[in-house]
Structure 1
């Protein structure tokens, strides 16, 4: 009998055909795979079968791993940690011909929204002529009255929009929701494509899938064209790392070449917007913001905002900064407007909507309110303006048929009191698409988010694809699916090969530059303290490893003397890592080490220091490599004895130091990271010298001192006669060739500060440069025989003073005067 392999049962094409046949045998009517099954879907599943054989679990795990490698993540609510991005290995396929109709409808809808905003924030003719009720403006919390009659720079309110689409089982596409304030998700679409390209590398060529890069290039060019300067500086304005899509924002900023800034990074001076950098104030010409525009400017809009920029609207009125999208655009996101869009399209564009939205009735009109009340069981009821009314306290759309008696009565009562707060919408049934569930394909409902952006000519261009959101359950009603639990790439395929376009221009056409660009003060601050925290954690860990290895572990041979052990314990206590031990017995020292290593109860333990470094890494995704982010995000080791966990952490610190030393470009950001490391290492070494290097130091003290400074080998190679105090002091304090010694740190500090920008051109040293040179000179001219505790204490104080001088000079946050002497404006 022929084997299964010989019979072709493990052939990728055979497996793909079987998957499709089994899936379509139980999929509902209108499923996208079963309705359009053919060569493209067969090619997709052949690629999956070639990747994972007869099962789909491997494909799903690989897609997850690639998404994690890229750094894709998101946050829900008040959660502190990001969740991994849930990516399905099965993309949604749409043929090029069908996509052209969708793209034309998206571009038309975007233009309609622009025309509406121009009128509603301008002459208001639509309301004056009775085409729109005035309550749609006056009742909306997103109508920003201070911005009426303002023409945005470049003449456009909208630069980047998103729409949620649904496909009904009969194959027609409709619009579920409009996103105009701060549309999210384009970065996820990009990251999905990157992850899928790694997972199914052969699919691009087989199906001629259209690329995303031209869309993002057009968007970047469109923003630049609206600016006044020929080479504008553009930034992505984020509310910070605790926003749900911060990882996406960081990825987009890095991909587009935008600065990633927060409100505190920016300042307005003479109606121009500047970013606070290490070289002074640098002008910003365009801001792509990603938060509620009501918080953009506490002077002109919401005075309680702590994340905005005072004076930003004045700069916009003066035409000096482009804000995408213009504040106030969120007015049209209200579901109440959807009831009027079909008629407004005919009026303003002279043609019907190519992509109709779902049928909507605004209850602010008596006939429509009566219709919704009479057909409540056949409708979805939703807030008209996004804010939760009394009848829908959770602020979510609900199926009328699912309301219990109490909820139904409360809804009807409030709809009678304030009908303008509600809309009724038809119940939409969604098409399904294949999804990997428990190693088999299962049909799940989906929605599609698509994106459009203006190009340099002011025309709308549409991202070929977007991303699909897949419901976790089989219920195909849109209101039940909600936001969706999984995502999938959306691939637009066609018969013609697609050119391998990149967002980056060709090397021959690009003006060469070796200046890495602007470094905001906040980023410099983060890099500096990331270096300090990593070095601080490693220094504390080195004390714990010596304590564990020489005085607690039963397998290490001779133990240290009680006096040396006590000095080590005092180093731990002095660092605030643990309370003083009851004694020096093994159990007391074990408890001291455990607290200092992993406590979460207010002590400055290694775990607590790592959390600080991890938090900085979370806001520095646009500056750090994915490998470095993964090392920072790695869970704290829980397995093994204390010494094993300490060793695991030491290897992680070494890997982080290697990433910084060998993989970070020698930019100003790296200099601040290394400045932090050098200051912290110098302070730690001084602490070790003061504790263990005094005139009465024993052989155990000096040997331990060399262990803490990782200098045992250097000392043994140099001195063959045993350990003596003065040679140890010379090696750890004054030898410029010892990378763990004080002289080496001082020289590096001076070198870095001499290389960083200065605010004046008089050639004189700035205070931080003077202090670093003075410290270096002290170490160059000192003699080991003269080193005592007073000398070390003075050097320690000068290093702290240098740290404060660096912060005053470069980390410009808070209320520093904007007109400080020598401040650079560019």
Structure 2
């Protein structure tokens, strides 16, 4: 019997069934229920094509794609990141409707630019009474040191964002302006990537407008403001503890910007430099995600530990662009919303194309009386962004009224906005949820405003919610602008005929080199400690493949080695229960230098290096500690994870300077561990158990058995573990790699003389190369360990320029 072309699993049938069921239940102000269902049917057909009739599977699939991209965010006060919540159902807006939003957003951005320029310039708006002086000077967002400073390029704003709400009748209004460090553009990009991978054919079928032209325009706009033809541009981040740090790392990687923190930068003689392994390199523009008061302790908050002293002086001289200009956020204050209609008429000579939510600033007596008379119908909000006394969580209505009477200028009253709804997957069907839209605008290379087509939607948790904010239980949505006209395939990739091919990946900040170096050391240290714990638990390799029981003397040295590394306190005895507890502490106790504590340090470095690590590497570093019942099973799981990380770094990391520092850290850590192990278990008088333990610790049992099948001999073991340059686990192999890495890293001088760290590595390599297994003694191995410590210090002094390190050391190049 022929199969029917329209079965229960046919995508079109499922899409129409979902729509009919949804429209029958959706409120009257829903975007799907009130408009054409055809584009929604096309989108849901794409969804059904990958998920059949299981909407829950579609939600899980798009979340997996978001996880693959590496999207995440952090709630303030929480240590761990959360996965970014993406809905599989995008918000669809037709191109003609979007044209009105786009025009309104561009107009608002230009209006705010002109008002900010006046407030920090001539001050005519206050002088002529368009704005009250107390509205400006009373705001903590108004930065007096910026008055009279002309920003490089003459523009205060390069990148802005606005929160919009769609009302029950389809009108759009502005709820909030974001001017300090607008977040979310990276999430909009990531939403598009995740949804695009799920709904592969949607872009072509609906002619969805792309995000790439917007980001290209922004990048060219920043470059156009710089004084050099080939500028170096950075994204200035507060660091990995910032809630949107993963987004910042993704944007830096996508736009080709240098992700920097305040400690990476130095202001010198009116210019700003990034501290790199090759000296100080000039930086021309910073897209800042740092609060403006934290930017420069000499100009603003003197307590700032994350700013750059002297940055504002360089800005005032026009030698560094800051996007956005410090002080522009004065217009973020909700109190300004009450004056936006008047400002549009006074500054632009036209009404607002996108109206602002109705707002009354209580700094005026009539407005204050209106708000007081309508407390039950209005939303009371802080006028300048910070929470007044009366709005505290534990304040009563009486407290609010009393505080409004004392300081009315600290409050605004705003109308309550009913939000339109859109379809969201809840369980196994579509449900209506309220949404807001965040839209982004950026200045392009010609100084005009470009608007990202779509932005991202923020979806409320409850059907009757009046405000949507990303948080626990909430979702975001991609926003697709569709139309009848085909969309050109635009990408940020440079045209092949204009691309200058290079194999140098660019500037490597000292902080990043420091992170990669210690990531290598921590991973190697954790793997070595885990190997020692497995030997202690009786998991060493014996000739017949069984577990070996170590004699007391060997066991005591192994326990002493672990206790000496502060992995755990020395056990009271060497009986089995005490050793098991000792091993458990060394593996899991976060208060000691255990495997768990080492992994935690490695994870922290991984979180701060997202722009340079693959998503697979970050996932392995962030994986939770194993929870299998037995310790050996947990140890085995950890060992496999370490092996996977080693494989990724060996086969997937390009051999750049960043990789060299990562591998250098591994080699120095492994060399020290091997030298220590040989000193403890390989000296004259070593027993067969000592030598077997040494082979286990050096992961060289199989290599030895293949080379010497007749049995264990001390000199042969020591030669394999300490001196054989062909054994990747040997001391000799590590010292050769260390010398090679340091020889390949940049030097500051042009006299072709070895720098301190290079000379130390050459001497260390020579000591090991000329050693003989028959005469290698404790003193030589102790000397090797001391030299490794000194070498690590020399590497840090030369390459990891941080804090109070002199800005102009001897030979330090400025470029």
TM-score, normalisation: structure 2? 0.98
State how far apart, in whole Å, the 1-side matches of 2:626 and 2:471 are.
Answer: 37
Q: How does 1:150-169 map to 2 (within 5 A)?
A: 150-169=149-168
After superposition, the C-alpha distances for 1:35-93 in whole angstroms (9 at most, x for unaligned) are: 12322100111111111111211000011111111111111112111011011111000
Q: 1:433: which partner in 2? A: 422
Q: Decide which moves more: 781-790 or 354-363.
A: 781-790
Q: Distance in 2 between matches of 1:422 and 1:215?
A: 36
2:723 alignment counterpart: 734
User: What's the offset of the Cα at 1:594?
Assistant: 1.0
Q: Contact 1:737 / 1:744 at 8 angstroms: preserved in 2? A: yes
In the alignment, what sits opposite 2:775? 786
Does the CA-based 8 Å contact 2:179-2:331 persist in structure 1? yes
Q: Secondary structure at the residue paired with 1:643?
A: helix
| Corresponding residue for residue 23 of structure 2 | 24
Q: Secondary structure at the match of 1:612?
A: helix
Which residue pairs with 2:643 in the alignment? 654
- Cα deviation for residue 4 of structure 1 reads 9.8
Query: Is 1:197 the equivalent of 2:196?
Result: yes
Q: Deviations over 1:114-155 (max 9, x none)?
A: 000110000000000111000011110010001101110011
Where does 1:170-569 land on structure 2 (aligned, <5 Å)?
170-394=169-393, 407-478=396-467, 485-550=474-539, 556-569=546-559
CA distance in 2, matches of 1:650, 1:492: 48
Which structure 2 residue ranges, 5 or more long, are not aligned?
none
SS of the aligned residue for 1:533 comes to helix
Which SS does the other structure have where 1:351 is aligned?
Answer: coil
Equivalent residues in 2 for 1:602-613 (5 A)? 602-613=591-602
1:228 Cα deviation after fit: 0.2
- State the superposition RMSD in angstroms: 1.7
Greater Cα offset, 192-201 or 6-15:
6-15
> Where does residue 106 of structure 1 map in the other structure?
105
Residue in structure 2 matched with residue 399 of structure 1 by the alignment: none
**Correspondence for 1:585:** 575
1:802 paired residue number: 791
Gap change, CA 1:769 and 1:60, over 3 Å in 2? same
For the residue of structure 1 that corresponds to 2:683, the secondary structure is coil
Q: CA deviation at 1:556?
A: 3.6
Is contact 2:540-2:693 (8 Å) kept? Answer: no
Q: CA deviation at 1:552?
A: 13
Change (3 A) 1:745 1:31: same
Match of 2:612 among 592, 600, 623: 623
Deviation at residue 478 of structure 1 after TM alignment: 3.0
Aligned mates of 1:718, 1:256 — CA distance in 2: 52
* Change over 3 Å in CA distance of 1:693–1:186 after alignment to 2: same
Find the residue that maps to 2:424 and give its secondary structure: strand
**2:162 & 2:280 partners in 1: Cα distance?**
37
Over 3 Å counting, the alpha-carbon distance change for 1:377 and 1:60 in structure 2 is same
SS at match of 1:516: coil
* Counterpart for residue 775 of structure 1: 764
| 3-state SS, counterpart of residue 461 of structure 1 | strand
Contact 1:550 1:560 (8 Å CA) reproduced: no
Q: Is the 8 A contact 2:439 2:456 kept in 1?
A: yes
Name the residue aligned to 2:62: 63
Asked whether the 8 Å contact 1:734–1:743 carries over to 2, the reply is yes
Distance 2:465 2:515 in 1: 46
- Give the match's secondary structure for 2:287: strand
Tell me the distance in 2 between the aligned counterparts of 1:479 and 1:340. Answer: 25
CA distance in 2 between partners of 1:808 and 1:557 (Å): 45
Per the normalisation by structure 1, the TM-score is 0.97
- Determine if the alignment matches structure 1 residue 123 to structure 2 residue 122: yes
Mapped partners of 1:584, 1:552: distance in 2: 21
Distance 1:775 1:551, change over 3 A: closer
Contact 2:540/2:696 (8 A) holds in 1: no
How far is 1:713 from its partner? 2.0
Deviates more, 1:705-714 or 1:301-310: 705-714
1:818 pairs with one of 802, 807, 813: 807
SS of the residue aligned with 2:235? strand
Query: Following the alignment from structure 1 to structure 2, what is the Cα–Cα distance between the partners of residues 3 and 436?
Result: 34
**Contact 1:427-1:478 at 8 Å conserved across structures:** no
CA distance in 2, matches of 1:478, 1:431: 11
Question: Is the partner of 1:549 in helix, strand or coil?
Answer: coil
Question: Unaligned 5+ residue runs, structure 1?
Answer: 395-403
Whether the aligned pair in 1 keeps the contact of 2:460 and 2:467 (CA below 8 Å) is no
- In 1, distance between residues paired with 2:471 and 2:374? 22
* Corresponding residue of 1:400: none
> Which one of the candidate residues 560, 563, 586 is aligned to 1:570?
560
Distance 1:675 1:781 in 2: 22
Alpha-carbon displacement from aligned partner over 1:712-768 (angstroms, at most 9, x marks no partner): 222222223311111111111111111111111111111110111101101111000
Instruction: Give, in angstroms, the shift of residue 612 of structure 1.
Output: 0.4
Question: Out of 675, 692, 715, which is 1:686 matched to?
Answer: 675
Partner Cα distance (1:262, 1:762) in 2: 32
Q: Deviations over 1:762-783 (max 9, x none)?
A: 1111000000000001111111
Cα distance, 1:326 vs structure 2: 0.1
Q: Would the alpha carbon gap of residues 550 and 355 (structure 1) be closer, same or farther in structure 2, given more than 3 Å must change?
A: closer
